[in-house]
Amino acid sequence: MTNKLAVFDFDSTLMDGETLEFFAREIGIEKKVRDITDRAMRGELDFFESLTQRVSFMKGLPLSKVNEICQNLPLMTGAQEVVSGLKAKGYKVVCFSGGFRNATSFFAQKLGLDGEFSNILHSKDGLLTGFVGGEMMFNTSKGEMLERLQKLLNVKPQNTIAVGDGANDLSMFKYASKKVAFCAKPILKENANIIIEEKNLSSILKYID
């Protein structure tokens, strides 16, 4: 049996929005954070620098509020359908996120994902410290993790799908035969071979054997 793998970004892909912007709304700096996010997703800012800067603004936000926000994030239309549809076709489905485990672990269980890789928000005494760490902090992180996962699961690039919307998803495309730009920034669309403009993830299924 052929091993097959589908990898999805989380923010603005599996989830409809950006986790950090939901946090920022709580403290009244949503526009400031959105501007930095947009520049990073267009490839104008280094992802690591943009991530650490945005997280630093969240210092003092209660962890209980963070977890409440994360568990009430809106799923993208078609998210459950695309995960179920791909699994029915024999794919392992995982999430790679430059966002946070507080959200991805919850939704991985909800969606029935086979794995999730994301970053960790540090906290002390129940409050965010403004620091972040983890395995998805750099522009190249997703591609490097995908290559490792392919070796671990014995999956070839021709049996791999990568789905994302921004510049930090670009590194995954090197290791996938189906490179899906979902409602994406121009830099990702230029490097994709499947472009979906409709805000419905289940549209992907018509391109999958």
User: What's the rounded Cα separation, in Å, for the pair 18 and 146?
Assistant: 22
User: What's the rounded Cα separation, in Å, for the pair 58 and 55?
Assistant: 5
Structure confidence by residue, pLDDT tens digits, 45-57? 999 999 999 999 9
Residues with a catalytic annotation lie at: 9, 11
Two structure tokens written together for 94: 């995982």
Are 114 and 94 in contact, with CB atoms under 8 Å apart? Answer: yes
CATH code of the domain occupying 4-207: 3.40.50.1000
Structure confidence by residue, pLDDT tens digits, 183-200? 999 999 999 999 999 999
Helices H / strands E in the chain, number of each: 9, 7
- Tell me the pLDDT band of 209, cut-offs 50, 70 and 90: confident
